[in-house]
Amino acid sequence: LATIIGQAQLQLRGDAGMDLRQSLETIGAQAWRIRDMIGNTMLFARPPEPHVQPFRLRGLLDECAGALRQTAAAGVSVGSHCEGDPELTADRAQLGVLICHLLRNGCEALRGASRSGTVVVSGRAVEDCVELSVEDNGPGLSSAEVLRHAFDPFYSGRSAGRGLGFGLCVSWRIVRQHGGGICLENLPHGGVCCRISLPQRPPVL
């Protein structure tokens, strides 16, 4: 899968025609999806204990946005924003999985949209917590039922092109293992925002 993803990204940097570019974007997106499915299944079946260490937030947000920018469909912009550069003590790799999944979910919702789309991950420190948000300007979640069950394991509902199920359940578990909270909400102007709150220095996990 790494080879497939790498080759697709390499070809996209070249002078590919529109038809080839669309095919390469599809190949890359599907390869990422398969990798996510395998990884999420493993995380769900045997979740590792968080390996916590202090790190700065801005670098992680930039890395995740940069990774998704490589495979985002044409017309979809992926960005990151961090107020200051707060430090937190957490499992950096697990939070990377969490952020990348949420960014990818937003990108999928915007694939094929008639207007240009934007997905942005933001972070800031609020008192003794770090607040993260992943926001897109897609069509939003279709019903209150989807919002209620989005983090349930094995929930297979789909809303406006958004893949639900293992990924959001794993995201919920990662956040809970770090002593935080996570929620989804439709935005008034359209789109979805996932909000996450994590303690900067959690108790012993």
Q: State the pLDDT at residue 2.
A: 75
Tell me if the domain spanning 2-199 has CATH number 3.30.565.10: yes
Place of tokens 């801005």: 58
Mean pLDDT score, 22-48: 73
pLDDT tens, residue by residue, 151-185? 876 665 555 445 545 678 888 989 999 999 999 99
Q: Identify the residue with better confidence: 121 or 205.
A: 121
pLDDT grade for 205, boundaries at 50, 70 and 90: very low
Q: b or e along 3-21 (b: 16 or more beta carbons within 10 Å of the residue's beta carbon)?
A: eebeebeebbeeeeeeeeb
Predicted TM-score of the model (pTM): 0.75
| Model pLDDT, residue 135 | 96
What is the rounded CA–CA span in Å between residue 177 and residue 168?
14
pLDDT in tens, 41-68: 766 666 677 889 999 999 999 999 999 9
| pLDDT at residue number 157 | 53
Report percent pLDDT > 90 for the chain: 41
Report whether pLDDT(13) > 80.
Answer: no
DSSP character string of the chain:
-HHHHHHHHHHHTS---HHHHHHHHHHHHHHHHHHHHHHHHHHHHSPPPP--EEEEHHHHHHHHHHHHHTTPPTTEEEEEEESS--EEEE-HHHHHHHHHHHHHHHHHHHTT-SS-EEEEEEEEEETTEEEEEEEE-S---S-HHHHHHTTSTT---EETTEE-SHHHHHHHHHHHHTT-EEEEEE-TTSSEEEEEEEESSPPP-
Locate the domains of the chain by residue range. 2-199
pLDDT at site 21 = 76
